[in-house]
Amino acid sequence: MEADASPDILIGKGSAEISISAMYVFGSPASGLPWEAEMRTAEREFSHPNWKGFVFRDSEKKFQPESEYIGSGKLDQEGRTKFTLPGRDRTAPSVLNILIGASVFEEGGPGSPRLQSRGGVRQKY
């Protein structure tokens, strides 16, 4: 299973398009298999290589982790699907990583999980 997001970095209330694709062991598309996805956020400090030793952080802002069920459905004939992670205001002292967890389920077996971490959300100042 493969998962990808575009764009890599969200700024402000930006949204992202998430793509999932899956194949069976021998390479044919996993057509019609059910999938589900969830999202969670993790705090990360932002630093820049040109300003070593300096961390961009607003200590007055408090981080509230999020965890959210995004959705489910069935893969298309090519074993693919796309969905949108909607943008929203997220408050953090620095940068957030957004972790997308997606699973594709084969009949009679466990899901094939994939975790995709994106560069996160940067606050607009």
Residue 35: per-residue pLDDT: 92
Per-block mean pLDDT, blocks of 10 residues, the chain (125 long): 84 86 90 92 82 82 87 95 86 81 79 53 42
Indicate the pTM of the whole model. 0.74
Task: Give the integer Cα–Cα distance in Å for 8 and 26.
Answer: 30
Residue 109: per-residue pLDDT: 61
The domain spans of the chain are: 2-42+69-90+99-115
Residue 112: per-residue pLDDT: 59
Which CATH class, in words, describes the domain spanning 2-42+69-90+99-115?
mainly beta
Residue 98: per-residue pLDDT: 84
